[in-house]
A and B are shown apart, each in its own frame.
Chain A
Amino acid sequence: MPDLPRPVSDWLVGLVESQRSIAHLLVDDAATLLDSGGDLAAYGLAGTRIGDPACEQLPFLEGLIPIPESPFLLRSLGMPSGRVADVHLIAEATATRIILLDVTTEHDQAQRVQQKAYDMTLLSQREARLIARLEAAHAELTAAHGELARSREELLVTHDRLQQELRDAERYVRAIIPSPIEEPFRVEWLYVPCTELGGDSLGYHWLDPDHFAVYLLDVCGHGVGAALLSVAVVNALRSGALPGTDFHAPADVLGSLNRAFQMDDHDDMYFTIWYGVLHWPTGVLRHASAGHPPPVLVRGPRGHVGEPVRLNLAGPAVGIMPTSRYTAEEVCLDTPARLYVFSDGVYEITEPTGDVMDYGDFQDLLAGPTGDGRGELDEYLRLAREKRGASVLEDDFSILRLEL
């Protein structure tokens, strides 16, 4: 303690007293309150009772008496009054002196500074966590994007391969249709599937020097399955691979096809077909139909309105009922005449307005004056596309013309 003149030391005591609300207590080693004084009320301790246990009146003393070292300081202790005190504990002979000095102002200042610092720290920690989450999410998205890009590449490769295979298949389907012929009569055809692979097919061939077979079929649906079935049927007819069948007899041929291609054995697919056999020496056409649109025979020369004859003959589609029976009829193709065989996709054209061209309209079109050669069939396709309002039609477009 410096040797201060009495006025100085008195002034300092007065200063501390005025600023720190000095209070003091004395507690013996048995934690009994022996004495108290000063501004106890400032700390909410005015009611302390001398002689009573100190720890019940001053809970902060619990476990502290006797103090482990002297002096012992508890900084910034919240007091019952709400003030904050530095608590100094000083050991005496058999007791502990407790001095309370008000530090509320300093405490409040420190709290304001600390509050801001902690708020900032918590914000920065939160920001760091958010950034870490964003970075993790970004990394995941980047990885997912890479995976998607790889999948897309693989899909494109697969798609290109499938497209190539579809083109190959479409070429094969088209290749099994015979080329147009010019002698001894003309046969032309036009086959335009609505997708890469359609369900229509057609064919014709000489059964013997006098008999010429013609057929056109339409498998329900489109795509690979329908195309495979149509190819199988045409190959069966071309190669005569229907045991016990008289290919000169259309009803017999359709019956055999019905037995061979039941839908239960062919993925629920069925088909319509028209089959005719022309006896060239007499011009008699014997024909039968399995649910197929009736062909149209137009008698009379080109360039004039002809006489249309609808070869209307009923018969169930092939594959639906094993017990189906078919009948055949005959008609004479007097020269000059044109026979048109086609699938429903040729005339069932839905216009953008919702109107649908019907069979009768198409029959009238066929009976009208026509040009020569393949151009006539191309014109029907152009008209169909024009009515549809699109280059891709709803259904396969297949038409065959036999002209005597």
Chain B
Amino acid sequence: MLQKKVCILGAFGVGKTSLVRRFVESIFSDEYLTTVGVKIEKKTLTVGSEQVSLILWDVAGEDDTTAIRMSYLRGAAGYLLIVDGTRAETLDVASSIRERVTAEVGPVPFLLLLNKADLTDEWELPEALDPGLEEAALSIVRTSAKTGHGVEEAFQDLADRLFR
């Protein structure tokens, strides 16, 4: 079975682990548990008529003192770049990650996910995001790990693009 490595990247607390758990196990917890290092999950899905697998690298979030280890990106076919829609500062972190990935690993294809879409009252992102980020992303999807909105579609979209 074909399988490809996909990294989940973004600032800390944007919901990377929650998105993976929602996609792989269809569960969600409101309790925030930080990720240290990297956790790997495998999910099989269908692209066209073929069964394929995504090897999901849930990488620890980036903060002011700890940058994402680019070594984790080695061999990645693509990545999902996650932004917390209720924290505008996580958009800047996403832009910075994208620039470093491009510089150190190359132009790896990615989808930009604007997560926590269920928290509409607290939404802080502007209508116009970082132009460079918007242009580089394969697509931009609003997601909610809590409700599941857009999650399956985002992972499937990336798989379709990587395996076709």
By a beta-carbon cutoff of 8 Å, the part of chain A in contact with chain B is 55-56, 59-60, 62-64, 67-68, 72-78, 84, 107, 110-111, 114-115, 117-119, 121-122, 125, 129
Contacts and interface: CB of A to CB of B under 8 A. Distances in A.
Contacts of B107: none
A121 B63 CA distance: 10
Interface string B54-90: 0101001001000001011011110000000001010
B3 A119 contact: no
Contacts of B74: 63-64, 67-68, 72
B24 interface: no
B149 interface: no
A59 B72 contact: no
Contacts of A122: 13, 32
B37 A76 contact: yes
Which of under 10, 10 to 19, 20 to 34, or 35 or more describes the interface residues of B? 20 to 34
A59 B36 contact: no
B64 to A, nearest CB: 8
Contact of B87 (A72, A84, A107, A125): A125
Nearest to A74: B71
A64 B36 contact: no
B39 interface: yes
B103 interface: no
Given A59-B42, A78-B40, A73 B71 contact: yes
B34 interface: yes
Contacts of B63: 117-118, 121
Given A73-B71, A121-B63, A63 B5 contact: yes
A348 B2 CA distance: 100
B3 A74 contact: no
Nearest to B53: A59
Contacts of A84: 36-37
Contacts of B40: 59-60, 77-78
B3 A114 contact: no
A63 B13 contact: no
A129 B37 CA distance: 29
Nearest to A116: B34
B128 interface: no
Contact of A107 (B4, B37, B42, B55): B37
Given A59-B40, A68-B74, 16 more contacts: A56-B3, A59-B42, A59-B55, A60-B55, A63-B55, A63-B77, A64-B75, A73-B71, A74-B72, A77-B40, A78-B38, A84-B36, A115-B34, A121-B13, A122-B13, A129-B124
Nearest to B39: A78
A111 B34 contact: yes
Sort A-B residue pairs by CB-CB distance and give the 4 closest, nearest first. Answer: A63-B75, A76-B37, A78-B39, A63-B5
A55 B55 CA distance: 10
Interface string B112-154: 0000000000001000000000000000000000000000000
Contacts of A119: 32
Contacts of A76: 36-38, 60
Contact of A63 (B1, B39, B76): B76
Contacts of A74: 38, 71-72
B34 A107 contact: no
A78 B4 CA distance: 18
